[in-house]
């Protein structure tokens, strides 16, 4: 999973970038580095044919992986989407804090098993449980947690941005609290 | 603030950009001194209609006159000129002591902005003067030869800077060892070497992060003729980072304009007689970008159409 950071880096994007940015920068870089424009030709030995091949291959790979990560994946089978009755909708609309526990109770009220969620999202059970228990140590960077949360909320047909906006700040606060505040060298 | 303008190739418009940015800054009310360090073929004064400056750097080197005292008025308020000397001196003939003295005097000059116009080429004196600056600027043109020389120039300056750091921190031996065994570490170029060194030791990483954080080259693209040409600068940002491992800022561009040539030939400062020219606007924009350290914003998807 840590490879995703490298992919964003290769495409000269920040990890907040969306699928549209990924496509745009991929097209731009692919076009720039596969062509024979003067800015490339002038590089001479600094950009050998082998280097070009290797770079373009990495670019393709990054594009493919990030597209998979960010693609608006609809649940594969229709009956996997959860039906919500009005009462449940109202109840969810009134939830103020989407903590892991809240997400768990929403899921349980919808009678959704984590195993079903795994079947569609292919997210390891352990991670799904860690989301619900807010075991932040399991997620090495926000980008992973975020992508899991997106899948999780989509599966339950929840308002994804709203949940993210509520959930992620707690992760960030936790992440910030474990780095040394001053003099920490930037990696 | 000291600005140095280099770029490797001759004829890309370093002196034009220097004189025009200087004029712009002076008109804004900033005390500005232009220093013509093209010791082989100095003619920055010609851009201001001066044929024979009273003093030149020869007086500084040979007659021990202070640098401040050999500046001459350019004819524009707030703008003074320290001229080189045509032919009589070249960068080969300046020794280390003279160079250090020149640098001391440059730093001591009383001005808001000091813009140094470097000659073509990558002589160590040229590179050292480039590295002296707070703003390292290269002027290049959308031609393959100009870009080749520019890459070479930036790389040479970077090597030179690294050499100073290696020496200052007594790293030279260990780095030479690493380089000798580069096959073992899968190191192919300078970028790989730096990455390897940074990973191998926290101390080296800290040194690099501290010393190299200021190493940013500002690119000015001159003689732009088409919108595709404008994009060259944008592409250089990616290319320099990816394949040279160097961060560059695309400060801006100036289009090709016959009026510029006419002005040079008639020895009139361009910025004074062409206030409404798009080139004047472009010069202002790139000068402001250089001061702020910001990029010009170019839309990557604009590649067709003509310059408006």
The single residue listed with the structure tokens 């860690």 is: A130
Q: Among all residues of chain A, which has the CA nearest to that of B207?
A: A185
Distance from CA of A26 to the nearest CA of B (A): 12
Q: CA-CA distance, B123 to A137, in Å (whole number)?
A: 54
Q: Give me the number of domains chain A comprises.
A: 2
Same domain, A84 and A44: no
CB contact under 8 A, A43 and B239: yes
pLDDT over 70, % of chain B? 94
Q: Is residue A169 part of a domain?
A: yes
CB contact under 8 A, B243 and A47: yes
Query: Bigger pLDDT: A148 or B305?
Result: A148
Q: Is residue A183 part of a domain?
A: no
Same domain, A45 and A86: no
A55: CATH: 1.10.287
pLDDT at B224 over 70: yes
Same domain, A28 and A100: no
- Burial class from Cβ neighbours inside 10 Å (0-12, 13-18, 19+) for residue B52 reads exposed
Could you give the maximum distance between any two Cα atoms of chain A, in Å? 67
pLDDT at B289 over 90: yes
Q: CA-CA distance, A53 to A57, in Å (whole number)?
A: 6
Cβ neighbours of A44 in B, within 8 Å = 148
Q: Return the pLDDT at B9.
A: 85
Domain that holds residue A104: 78-177
Q: Which of B142, B238, B241 sits opposite A38 (nearest CB)?
A: B142
Q: Return the pLDDT at A91.
A: 83
- What average pLDDT is seen over chain B? 87
pLDDT at B115 over 50: yes
ipTM exceeding 0.85, yes/no:
no
Helix pair A114-121, A142-155: axis angle to 10 deg: 110
Q: Is residue A185 part of a domain?
A: no
Q: Is residue A27 part of a domain?
A: yes
Residues B99, B110: contact at Cβ < 8 Å?
A: no
Residue ending a domain, choose from A41, A70, A99: A70
Q: CA-CA distance, A93 to A99, in Å (whole number)?
A: 14
pLDDT at B307 over 70: no
Residue ending a domain, choose from A32, A48, A70: A70
Residues B45, B75: contact at Cβ < 8 Å?
A: no
Q: Is A93 left (phi over 0), alpha (psi -120 to 50) or beta?
A: alpha
CA distances (Å), origin A143, targets A6, A7, A120, A146, B150? 12, 12, 20, 5, 38
Domain spans, chain B: 2-145+217-292
Q: Is residue A187 part of a domain?
A: no
| Structure-token pair, residue B4 | 């140095």
- The topology (CATH level 3) of B2-145+217-292 is Rossmann fold (3.40.50)
Going by DSSP bridges, is the β-strand pair B79-82/B72-73 parallel, antiparallel, or unpaired? antiparallel
CB contact under 8 A, A185 and B143: no
Tens-place pLDDT, residues B145-154: 999 999 999 9
Instruction: Please state the rounded mean pLDDT for residues A13-37.
Output: 88
Choosing among A38, A44, A59, which should be mutated to test the B contact, i.e. which has the most B CBs within 10 A?
A38
Choosing among B211, B234, B300, B303, which should be mutated to test the A contact, i.e. which has the most A CBs within 10 A?
B300
Query: Bigger pLDDT: B206 or A35?
Result: B206
Q: Return the pLDDT at A48.
A: 83
Among the listed ranges A79-83, A123-127, B29-33, B131-135, which one has the minimum average pLDDT value?
A: A79-83
Cβ neighbours of B152 in A, within 8 Å = none
Same domain, A96 and A169: yes
Among the listed ranges B24-28, B81-85, B135-139, which one has the minimum average pLDDT value?
A: B81-85
pLDDT band, residue B105 (cuts 50/70/90): very high
DSSP H or E stretch at residue B18:
helix B14-27
Instruction: Please state the rounded mean pLDDT for residues B144-165.
Output: 92
Q: Among all residues of chain A, which has the CA nearest to that of B244?
A: A46
Same domain, A107 and A152: yes
Q: Return the pLDDT at A9.
A: 87
Same domain, A82 and A173: yes
Query: Bigger pLDDT: B226 or B304?
Result: B226
Cβ neighbours of A41 in B, within 8 Å = 144
DSSP H or E stretch at residue B11:
none
User: A32 — contact with chain B (CB < 8 Å)?
Assistant: yes
CB contact under 8 A, A38 and B300: no
Residues B60, B70: contact at Cβ < 8 Å?
A: yes
Distance from CA of A8 to the nearest CA of B (A): 14
CB contact under 8 A, B243 and A51: yes
Same domain, A93 and A144: yes
User: A39 — contact with chain B (CB < 8 Å)?
Assistant: yes
CB contact under 8 A, A39 and B232: yes
User: A144 — contact with chain B (CB < 8 Å)?
Assistant: no
Instruction: Please state the rounded mean pLDDT for residues B8-21.
Output: 90
SS3 B50: coil
Residue ending a domain, choose from A14, A43, A70: A70
Name the CA dihedral angle for A18, A23, A24, A27, rounded to a multiple of 10 degrees: 160
CB contact under 8 A, A42 and B148: yes
pLDDT at A182 over 70: no
Cβ neighbours of B143 in A, within 8 Å = 38
pLDDT at B253 over 90: yes
Same domain, A82 and A126: yes
Q: Return the pLDDT at B129.
A: 93
Choosing among B146, B193, B225, B243, which should be mutated to test the A contact, i.e. which has the most A CBs within 10 A?
B243
A129: CATH: 1.10.260.40
pLDDT band, residue B28 (cuts 50/70/90): very high
């Amino acid at each position: 999973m840590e490879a995703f950071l490298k992919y964003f880096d290769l495409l000269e994007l920040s990890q907040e970038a969306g699928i549209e940015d990924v496509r745009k920068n991929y097209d731009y870089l692919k076009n720039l580095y596969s062509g024979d424009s003067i800015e490339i030709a002038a590089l001479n030995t600094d950009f050998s044919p082998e280097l070009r091949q290797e770079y373009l291959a990495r670019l393709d790979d990054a594009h493919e992986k990030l597209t998979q990560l960010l693609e608006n994946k609809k649940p594969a089978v229709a009956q996997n989407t959860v039906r919500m009755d009005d009462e449940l909708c109202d109840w969810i609309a009134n939830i103020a804090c989407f903590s892991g526990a809240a997400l768990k109770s929403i899921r349980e009220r919808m009678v959704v098993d984590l195993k079903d969620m795994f079947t569609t999202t292919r997210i390891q059970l352990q991670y799904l449980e860690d989301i619900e228990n807010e075991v932040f140590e399991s997620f090495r960077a926000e980008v992973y947690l975020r992508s899991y949360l997106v899948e999780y909320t989509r599966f339950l047909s929840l308002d994804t941005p709203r949940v993210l906006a509520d959930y992620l700040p707690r992760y960030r606060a936790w992440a910030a609290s474990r780095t040394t505040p001053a003099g920490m060298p930037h990696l | 603030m000291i600005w140095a303008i280099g770029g490797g190739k001759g004829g890309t418009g370093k002196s034009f950009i220097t004189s025009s940015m200087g004029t712009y800054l002076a008109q804004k009310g900033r005390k500005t001194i232009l220093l013509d360090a093209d010791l082989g073929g100095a003619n920055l004064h010609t851009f201001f209609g001066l044929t024979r400056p009273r003093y030149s750097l020869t007086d500084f080197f040979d007659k021990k006159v202070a640098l401040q005292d050999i500046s001459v008025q350019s004819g524009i308020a707030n703008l003074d000129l320290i001229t080189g000397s045509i032919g009589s001196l070249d960068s080969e003939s300046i020794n280390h002591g003279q160079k250090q003295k020149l640098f001391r005097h440059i730093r001591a000059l009383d001005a808001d902005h000091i813009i140094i116009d470097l000659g073509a080429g990558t002589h160590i004196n040229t590179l050292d003067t480039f590295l002296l600056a707070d703003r390292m600027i290269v002027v290049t043109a959308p031609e393959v030869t100009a870009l080749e020389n520019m890459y070479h120039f930036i790389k040479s300056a970077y090597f030179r800077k690294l050499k100073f750091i290696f020496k200052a921190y007594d790293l030279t031996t260990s780095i030479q060892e690493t380089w000798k065994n580069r096959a073992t570490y899968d190191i192919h170029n300078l970028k790989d070497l730096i990455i390897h060194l940074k990973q191998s030791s926290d101390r080296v990483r800290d040194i690099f992060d501290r010393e190299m954080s200021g190493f940013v080259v500002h690119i000015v693209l001159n003689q732009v003729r088409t919108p595709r040409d404008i994009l060259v600068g944008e592409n250089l940002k990616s290319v320099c980072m990816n394949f040279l491992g160097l961060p560059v800022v695309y400060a801006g561009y100036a289009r090709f304009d016959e009026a510029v040539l006419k002005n040079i030939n008639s020895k009139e400062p361009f910025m004074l007689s062409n206030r409404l020219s798009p080139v004047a606007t472009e010069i202002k924009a790139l000068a402001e970008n250089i001061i702020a350290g910001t990029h010009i914003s170019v839309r990557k998807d604009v590649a067709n159409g003509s310059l408006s």
